[in-house]
A and B are shown apart, each in its own frame.
Chain A
Amino acid sequence: MSQNTTTTRVQPLESVTGVQLAQGIGHRPTKGFWGEAWDHVIRRPGAIFGIVWVSIVAFFAVFAPFMASGFPLIERTLDESGAVTGVTYPLLHQLTATDILLVLGSFAMIPWLLLPFKMGRSDRLIAAIMLSVQSGMAVIAASIVRDVVSGRDVSNRTREWEQAVWFAPTIAAGFAVVAALIVFWVLPFQKILSRIIAATVVAAVTAVLIVATWSEPLGQFDYRQREAGGQIEAARTLVPFSPQEGATDRDLKPPGMSLGDAVGETEAERLAQSDDRFLLGTDSLGQDVLSQMLHACRLSISIGLVSTAISVVIGVTVGALMGYFGGWVDLLLYRVVEIFMAVPVLFLLIVAAAVLPRNTYVMMAIIGCVSWTGSARFVRAEFYKLRNQDFVQSAKAVGLPLHSILFKHMLPNGVTPVLVDASFAIAAAILAEAVLSYLGLGPANQASWGRLLSEATNQVGDFKWWLAIFPGLAIFLTVLSYNLIGEAFRDAIDPKLKKARV
């Protein structure tokens, strides 16, 4: 197998003499460890399939609110003669800070990653991830605060606060600044000034968006009635239903049925209703399955990435301490690892999910906190080997601080197995979410493939095939994709297999 058949960047080898080689003629710059691995990965058809599918899911994760919504894109108010009296954009008013940030971020990401800059591409990727994390932390923290203060059983004083003008901007600015201060230290830019600018811009945009979308607009789905009554004229998105838009008189309709057929009793009623179709049917609450599946892409992508990130951070820290110190630190921490190994992950997950609040972030945290033992053991083994090597000993002798020795010098040499394993961990996290949602322990009020799947069967023994096939297939393809990508990376990095291939 030669390299030049697959990638265009690799130049065909020309015959060069030793002298020319010494002069640097015909020298190909190496791509580095991860670049080589990536070249191996994208030669595997399975991995290509996986990357394509995950990209599709990620695309819907970003754009689902713009593609599947019951709120009209454009709403024209009509007077009695049918003349347009006003134009509003209800869909845009429904967007959350997350929706807008994701769109902005993904549009900014494309030129940032693809255009040739002096800065290395992997550094740019890391910077992009850091800035997304910064923005995400602020948004999540602000939304948790908002949910708490606008909850039902809060005291009157909290309610007064929440309604005060200064409250939302203070919270938004506070969290944005804190997140910026955290990320500022780890941004991979050379110049301090560029770090300050990047962190500040992201913080400012995030804070403005949080404030702008602070009060959650009420979801009123009376556009169809008003449209049927000739009061408005509406232009809708591709999938004309919101995930939460349901009515009991259109529950469990099979795919392809139109809204009019679903709810209309008489011919006149049917005609009055729109002929928007439920392309994949509806669930037991009368909500459109396709719309829910598109909106659930975000949950699927984020739960995989965030919970794996949490588990890797915990696992790497614990594993590094165990492997570096050994002795009683190892003995003690390994008991903690053993605790999590002795109980099946699913058991712990179910117990934790049942007793903690039903919330997406809590679920990510639970999955992350329960499944870190694998990476801890990988890192422990690697650090155990590394800690007696010369570069570590000299780093110690120079008197570098512990975190520098562990994470700056040792970690890059020992993190490979963890990163390869991360792809499988993402797949496992998605499976875990599916199981929890199926058992009714998933996040509340959140479109999820697992929840849809759980409605396919019920206690009475009914079976709705469209609720089994479509969400199940989506989970399966996503898990399969991550597993295929993980396999390809593992094969690319495993030195034993590489040697065997030559």
Chain B
Amino acid sequence: MGTYLLRRLLLMIPTIIGMTLLVFVLIAASPGGVGAALNVSGGGQMESGTSKAQQQAYLEDRYGLDAPIIVQYVRWLGRVSPVKFGERDLIAPTGEVVRSPRQIKAPMAWRRFVDSIPDANAEAYAFDEGASDAEKSRAYRLASQAYTRVRAEYVLSRAGYEQAMGEGLRAVGLRRYANRDGTMKSSTPRSAIDRVADDSEQGPIVQAAFDDAMARYVEAITVRGELQAVFDARPFRPAGVPLIPGMLSVATPDLGMSFARGRPVTTLIGDALPVTLLLNLVAIPIIYFIAVPSGMLAATRRGGLFDVLSGGLYVALWSIPIVWACVLMLGFLANKETGLGWFPVAGLNSVEGREMTWLPSTAPDGTRVHGFVLDTLWHMCLPVAALSYTGFAVLSKQTRAAMLDNFSADYVRTAKAKGVRSRDIVLRHVFRNSLLPIITMFVSIFPAMLGGSVVVERVFSVPGMGNLVIEAIFLRDREVLLANALIIGLVNMFALLLADILYAMADPRVSYD
């Protein structure tokens, strides 16, 4: 069993990598990439007067989108992986993970204009003996802000230079080296750049743009050196637990920041996951309490009226599109004008729900307050109903089939021959032997319900994982989507593993060794 478990756990790693890579590539392949949606959502504060290419360059630099996809993915993997290589990251008192500042690219084709780039020799930085945490983080923050500003200026200037170069290339008739957005291609050969730089008209423009970019680049690497020095002085406590000091450590995964909302993904998921789990954990017992007895009844009266009717009803329920069920419930049960108005239309709590007492009570002025718990339950009625009705068919059918399998077994005939009461045969013999597939069904229902939550939460405006995913998709919020894929995938794979273990525990004939 132990080796089997270890094998399964190790095999999860390639699956997780493949799965997140799939989502990563899909998002990166979307038209305009992640940056397109950032532009729309105003992901960065931009001065007016910057061109579109400059804005794009700024955003790409800020979120590290200018690197090749595979590099970006490996970076993400490095952040998420609980096992870290190299020097440990630091954790600021705010809980934010602080890394050593990223390298910065020199202007394209700088060798044409200058012979060498000056080295950035920042002096080693040391905090005063006994400097307080607040002083240290202030020093780091100042250095970091300075670097952010200088870097942004450089990136804008570099984009301006690339654009000037692109225009120059067009002007001298080499438009094949210009990108669609007007910048130069990174693969432009030296001869083409020479032609632009030697051109009597374009040469001075390009030269001026380059000089500006180069000056800012030198400034940027200088400030970066200073920030690196502050970082090297270790202003904060290091993250995680070292395994081999300086080489290998274990730390909590960092899921990154949401592009669109500017909040850590961990917080977003921390808010949303309990809501989804609450809905699902209420719905699953309901499915079991209705489907298992009806499946048993159908099996014992096989071919009878109940069997036929329940079978037909469940196929019909199973065929109802979840969107339709949600819309009908919303229109006829929740809407006050067109329907009965029995249930709330949206959300998981009333507006006044936050101020309510936990349990039902009477307010000082004599009005009844139905309390937070009842209010939540009332709001959950329709979403839970929408989540659970499709599960009935699958589970009831499974129960019925498992029971029927066992009814034709030899031990049932023996029990009958012995004169065991038929109730005891059903409950104590057949049902107990049919439990196995019923238990493991849980595992296949659960992922389907996580998927179903997407629709239900969207329609009923429940702030759960499904809603988070949909919003993240419309904003191309890569970090949120990846984190969701990771968490849902992990949950599902552990559920599958759990099913196999349960199987082995419940059935002595199954063994994995």
Do the two chains bind?
yes
Q: Which residues of A contact B (CB under 8 A)?
A: 46, 335-336, 338-339, 341-348, 350-352, 354-357, 427, 431, 434-435, 438-439, 450, 453-454, 456-457, 461, 463, 465, 468, 472, 475-476, 479-480, 483-484, 487, 500
Residues from chain A with a CB closer than 8 A to the CB of B450 are 344, 347
Partner among A347, A435, A453, A454 whose Cβ is within 8 Å of the Cβ of B485: A347
Is B3 close to A, CB under 8 A? no
Residue contact A435 to B322, C-beta cutoff 8 Å = yes
Residues from chain A with a CB closer than 8 A to the CB of B473 are 350-351, 354
Is B200 close to A, CB under 8 A? no
Instruction: Give Cα A479–Cα B322 distance, bound, in whole angstroms.
Output: 12
Residue contact B451 to A347, C-beta cutoff 8 Å = yes
Residue contact B327 to A356, C-beta cutoff 8 Å = no
Residue contact A347 to B321, C-beta cutoff 8 Å = no
Q: Which has the most chain B C-beta neighbours within 10 Å: A338, A345, A427, A475? A: A338
Residue contact A479 to B454, C-beta cutoff 8 Å = no
What distance in Å separates the Cβ of A251 from its nearest Cβ neighbour in chain B? 17
Q: Which residues of B contact A (CB under 8 A)?
A: 11, 14-16, 18-19, 22-23, 26-27, 29-31, 312, 315-316, 318-324, 327-328, 330-331, 335, 337-339, 345, 404, 408, 447-448, 450-452, 454-455, 458-459, 469-470, 473-474, 476, 481, 484-485, 488-489, 492-493, 496
A355-B29, A431-B322 known; 10 other A-B pairs, CB under 8 Å? Answer: A343-B489, A344-B450, A344-B488, A346-B452, A351-B26, A355-B31, A434-B323, A434-B324, A435-B322, A472-B327
Residue contact A343 to B492, C-beta cutoff 8 Å = yes
Residues from chain A with a CB closer than 8 A to the CB of B27 are 351, 355
Partner among A346, A352, A456, A461 whose Cβ is within 8 Å of the Cβ of B26: A352
What distance in Å separates the Cβ of B4 from its nearest Cβ neighbour in chain A? 15
What distance in Å separates the Cβ of B491 from its nearest Cβ neighbour in chain A? 9
Residues from chain B with a CB closer than 8 A to the CB of A427 are 319
Contacts A350-B469, A476-B320; A342 near B455 (Cβ below 8 A): no
Residue contact B447 to A344, C-beta cutoff 8 Å = yes
Residues from chain A with a CB closer than 8 A to the CB of B408 are 500
Residues from chain A with a CB closer than 8 A to the CB of B339 are 463
Residues from chain A with a CB closer than 8 A to the CB of B451 are 344-347
Contacts A457-B459, A463-B331; A480 near B316 (Cβ below 8 A): yes
Residue contact A341 to B327, C-beta cutoff 8 Å = no
Residue contact B315 to A480, C-beta cutoff 8 Å = yes
Partner among A335, A344, A350, A475 whose Cβ is within 8 Å of the Cβ of B324: A475
Residues from chain A with a CB closer than 8 A to the CB of B345 are 461
Residue contact B323 to A453, C-beta cutoff 8 Å = yes
Residues from chain A with a CB closer than 8 A to the CB of B316 are 480
Instruction: Give Cα A354–Cα B472 distance, bound, in whole angstroms.
Output: 10
Residue contact B335 to A461, C-beta cutoff 8 Å = yes
What distance in Å separates the Cβ of B480 from its nearest Cβ neighbour in chain A? 11
What distance in Å separates the Cβ of B466 from its nearest Cβ neighbour in chain A? 9
Residues from chain B with a CB closer than 8 A to the CB of A483 are 315, 318-319
Q: Which has the most chain A C-beta neighbours within 10 Å: B26, B331, B484, B496? A: B331
What distance in Å separates the Cβ of A394 from its nearest Cβ neighbour in chain B? 34
Residues from chain A with a CB closer than 8 A to the CB of B448 are 344
17 A-B interface contacts by CB (under 8 A): A335-B14, A338-B15, A341-B492, A342-B496, A343-B23, A355-B31, A356-B29, A431-B321, A435-B321, A435-B322, A438-B455, A472-B321, A472-B323, A472-B327, A476-B319, A476-B324, A480-B316
Contacts A346-B454, A439-B470, A463-B338; A457 near B330 (Cβ below 8 A): yes
Residue contact A438 to B323, C-beta cutoff 8 Å = yes
What distance in Å separates the Cβ of A299 from its nearest Cβ neighbour in chain B? 15
Residue contact B484 to A347, C-beta cutoff 8 Å = yes
- Beta-carbon nearest neighbor of A349 in chain B: B451
Instruction: Give Cα A438–Cα B324 distance, bound, in whole angstroms.
Output: 9
- Beta-carbon nearest neighbor of B13 in chain A: A335
- Beta-carbon nearest neighbor of B473 in chain A: A354
Residue contact B327 to A457, C-beta cutoff 8 Å = yes
Partner among A342, A355, A500 whose Cβ is within 8 Å of the Cβ of B30: A355
Residues from chain A with a CB closer than 8 A to the CB of B324 are 434, 453, 468, 472, 475-476
What distance in Å separates the Cβ of A408 from its nearest Cβ neighbour in chain B? 32
Residues from chain A with a CB closer than 8 A to the CB of B14 are 335
What distance in Å separates the Cβ of B406 from its nearest Cβ neighbour in chain A? 13
What distance in Å separates the Cβ of B494 from its nearest Cβ neighbour in chain A? 10
Q: Which 3 A-B pairs have the closest CB atoms?
A: A355-B30, A344-B451, A346-B451
Partner among B30, B312, B321 whose Cβ is within 8 Å of the Cβ of A479: B321
What distance in Å separates the Cβ of B92 from its nearest Cβ neighbour in chain A? 32
Residue contact B328 to A338, C-beta cutoff 8 Å = no
Instruction: Give Cα A463–Cα B485 distance, bound, in whole angstroms.
Output: 34
- Beta-carbon nearest neighbor of B318 in chain A: A483
Residue contact A476 to B488, C-beta cutoff 8 Å = no
Partner among A472, A479, A500 whose Cβ is within 8 Å of the Cβ of B328: A472
Residue contact A468 to B327, C-beta cutoff 8 Å = yes
Residues from chain B with a CB closer than 8 A to the CB of A439 are 455, 458, 470
Instruction: Give Cα A354–Cα B32 distance, bound, in whole angstroms.
Output: 13
- Beta-carbon nearest neighbor of B302 in chain A: A500
- Beta-carbon nearest neighbor of A357 in chain B: B31
Instruction: Give Cα A463–Cα B336 distance, bound, in whole angstroms.
Output: 10
Residues from chain B with a CB closer than 8 A to the CB of A344 are 447-448, 450-451, 488, 492
Instruction: Give Cα A89–Cα B291 distance, bound, in whole angstroms.
Output: 58
What distance in Å separates the Cβ of A370 from its nearest Cβ neighbour in chain B? 10
Residues from chain A with a CB closer than 8 A to the CB of B459 are 457
Residues from chain A with a CB closer than 8 A to the CB of B454 are 346-347, 350
Residue contact A355 to B330, C-beta cutoff 8 Å = no
Partner among B315, B330, B481, B485 whose Cβ is within 8 Å of the Cβ of A484: B315
